[in-house]
Amino acid sequence: MIQESRAPTLTHHRPLSFSTSFQEDLVTFTIDTIQGDNANKTPLSDQVEEINFRIKDNDGVYFDHTAYVLKMREGVGTAPTAADSIFVAYKGMLLNLNRFDERTNPIWFESLSVVKGFSALMPYIKSAAAPTINSDGTYAFDGFGSAAIFMPSALGYYNDSRSVPAYSPLIFAVDLFTYNTTDHDGDSVPTHLEDLDGDNYFDDDTDSDGLPNFRDDDDDNDGILTRTEYDANNDGIADDTDNDGTPDYLDKD
């Protein structure tokens, strides 16, 4: 059974602050003690937003955990959901600031394939403006968002990583350049809407056929594809022909 791990503390024997520097529009994330030249800095613990999660163990039992989000730069675009495909640069650190992973050149990730704390950070960052194409064919992004999450091991690797000590709380600092809204099964229902109970686990299986809805192109197993039933009148709202409160694509009747 997964036991609740201790949430990362944002205090030290001296208060902590963070600072950023901008080189070619990149954010350099550093943490330091409040003393000397930093004496007038605002403590890190006064700058974070607390977010809470219910984490499910292998027996389906939920445990409550707390993480902390630090917004360093908002970004000028829009924010992805925790289920979208994201184009990011990032740095992963232990609480002692030892770095265990880093990507300075952006990379695409499927949010559902990364640790839960990483994907949970995404709704708190906005993307950049539309990219411009350089003369050499590369892309340039302006105004991208940057944020960090401080999280307990249950939102990270818990005891299952070769590069991170077991049960380690983690810090991820992330720059978000752009993202794509995902529809993993191509059924016209965005993946983030397939989490019907809102528990941040994409294991909802309406027709109990062994395929979670976000991987199932016929969510109610009535022989009519979800993409056909979802919004036949194209009004942007899931159809409910018999007005029983269950949309057609989830309703066999």
Which helix (H) or strand (E) covers residue 115, if one does? none
This prediction has a pTM of 0.83
Q: pLDDT digit string (tens) for 71-89?
A: 988 899 999 999 999 999 9
Q: Residue 24's closest CA among 101, 121, 105, 79?
A: 105
Task: Kindly give, in sequence order, each residue whose CB lies less than 8 Å from that of residue 103, ignoring residues fewer than 6 positions away.
Answer: 88, 89, 90, 91
The string of DSSP codes covering 36-65 is: GGGTTSPPGGGT-EEEEEEEE-TTS-EEEE
Q: Which two tokens stand for residue 143?
A: 């105004």
Residue 50 backbone phi and psi in degrees, to 5: -80, 130
Alpha carbon distances (Å) from 97 to 66, 94, 173, 239: 20, 5, 11, 50
Amino acid letter for position 17: S
Which 3 state secondary structure label does DSSP give 162?
coil
The pLDDT score that the predictor gives to residue 139 is: 81
Cα atoms found within 13 Å of the Cα of residue 51, Cβ hemisphere only: 23
* Cβ burial, residue 121 (10 Å; 0-12/13-18/19+): buried
How far is the C-alpha of 122 from the C-alpha of 119, rounded, in Å? 5
Of 2-11, 27-36, 98-107, the poorest mean pLDDT is in: 2-11
Alpha carbon distances (Å) from 253 to 159, 170, 240: 45, 47, 11
C-alpha 210 chain-centroid distance: 25
- Delineate the domains of the chain, giving CATH numbers in brackets: 16-180 (3.10.50.40), 183-253 (no CATH)
Q: pLDDT digit string (tens) for 178-230?
A: 999 999 999 999 999 999 999 889 999 999 999 999 999 999 999 999 999 99
- pLDDT at residue 161 above 70? yes
C-alpha 84 chain-centroid distance: 8
Q: pLDDT band at 27, cuts 50/70/90?
A: low
Contacts by 208-217, CB closer than 8 A, 24 or more apart: 213/189, 214/83, 214/184, 214/185, 215/184, 215/185, 216/185, 216/187, 217/185, 217/186, 217/187
C-alpha 43 chain-centroid distance: 25
Residue 113 backbone phi and psi in degrees, to 5: -105, -5
The pLDDT score that the predictor gives to residue 33 is: 74
Q: What is the rounded average pLDDT for all residues in the chain? A: 85
